[in-house]
Amino acid sequence: QVRLVESGGGSVQAGGSLRLSCQVSGYTASSSCMGWFRQTPGKEREWVAAIDRDGSTSHADSVKGRFTISRDKAENTLYLQMNSLKPEDTAMYYCALSWRRRSCGLGVSDYARWGQGTQVTVSS
């Protein structure tokens, strides 16, 4: 059974940093695409970043240059390093697993397994 568990969320002031982790069990995370999404109440879940089987990464324009997605194969863990945080980054953050190996999708429907989410709150 594939399971994704996020951690690392919290409250931080604008300009601060956080690192989110997503521990994967029941599947080798480096075998396919994984991504991070975020969602605020009343809004659709928004794609943030993705990493494919070969390690190629992509980031949404809104976080490019501030957030970095990475993966530790030995730990079977996905990360999202978030720097220079802004109040508009406040959201519930979710990691997700896709059965795609490359050309990671940007939509919610492109991902098959999800974690429970971790809350990030950025105050001004």
pLDDT digits (tens, 9 = 90+) for 65-86: 999 999 999 999 999 999 999 9
Asked if the model's pLDDT at residue 52 lies above 90, the reply is: yes
Residue 102, pLDDT score? 83
Average pLDDT, the chain: 96
CA distance 72 to 77: 5
> What is the per-residue pLDDT for 27?
94
Average pLDDT over residues 11-21: 98
CB 88, CB 18: distance < 8 Å? no
Per-residue model confidence (pLDDT) at position 76: 96
Contact status, residue 120 vs residue 6, Cβ threshold 8 Å: no
Q: Residue 100's pLDDT is what?
A: 87
With contact defined as beta carbons under 8 Å apart, do 81 and 72 qualify? Answer: no
From 6, 58, 65, 40, select the one nearest 121 (Cα to Cα): 40
Tens-place pLDDT, residues 94-109: 999 999 888 899 999 9
